[in-house]
């Protein structure tokens, strides 16, 4: 997905990775959200990347995943939910990695097993 989105335009992937762009202006030393009517063409274009990213993500989902993210306000929110749903949290990823390493370290050919069967089991670990 990242490769496809970056192919279209790097700014779209930036919207997914770093959240949507909201132009701000400084007023009395405080940054506030800039009114939409005052956005420059460049700001409009950059803000549009989030809409494009949400469109790409939603069109690539099955109905279960679509309903899971359909109420999200940004492409980043969608991506984060999908990432946790399909890959798990960082703790889950670490545990999976530890399990795979343990299976690899204990891997050996079983008595009477053919080379093809060994290769098949080994490929399953990876």
Are residue 111 and residue 63 in the same domain, yes or no? no
Are residue 74 and residue 105 in the same domain, yes or no? no
Are residue 122 and residue 78 in the same domain, yes or no? no
Are residue 80 and residue 94 in the same domain, yes or no? no
Query: For all residues of the chain together, what is the average pLDDT?
Result: 89
Q: Say what the pLDDT of residue 124 is.
A: 80
Are residue 64 and residue 125 in the same domain, yes or no? no
Domain tally for the chain?
Answer: 2
Per-block mean pLDDT, blocks of 10 residues, the chain (126 long): 89 90 86 89 90 94 92 93 83 82 90 92 80
Are residue 93 and residue 67 in the same domain, yes or no? no
Are residue 83 and residue 98 in the same domain, yes or no? no
Are residue 82 and residue 95 in the same domain, yes or no? no
Are residue 27 and residue 53 in the same domain, yes or no? yes
Q: Which domain holds residue 120?
A: 89-126
Q: With helix as H, strand as E and coil as C, how does the chain read?
A: CHHHHHHHCHHHHHHHHHCCCCCEEEECCEEEECCHHHCCHHHHHHHHHHHHHHHHHHHCCCHHHHHHHCCCCCHHHHHHHHHHHHHCCHHHHHHHHHHHHHHHHCCCCCCCCCHHHHHHHHHHHC
- pTM equals 0.64
């Amino acid at each position: 997905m990242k490769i496809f989105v970056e192919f279209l335009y790097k700014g779209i992937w930036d919207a997914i990775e770093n959240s949507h762009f909201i132009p701000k202006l400084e007023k009395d030393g405080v940054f506030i959200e800039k009114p939409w009517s005052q956005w420059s063409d460049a700001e409009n274009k950059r803000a549009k990347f989030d809409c494009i990213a949400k469109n790409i993500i939603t069109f690539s989902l099955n109905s279960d995943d679509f309903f899971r993210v359909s109420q999200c306000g940004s492409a980043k929110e969608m991506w984060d939910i999908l990432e946790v749903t399909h890959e798990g949290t960082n703790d889950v990823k670490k545990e999976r990695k530890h399990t795979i390493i343990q299976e690899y370290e204990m891997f050996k050919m079983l008595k009477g097993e053919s080379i093809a069967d060994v290769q098949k089991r080994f490929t399953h670990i990876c």
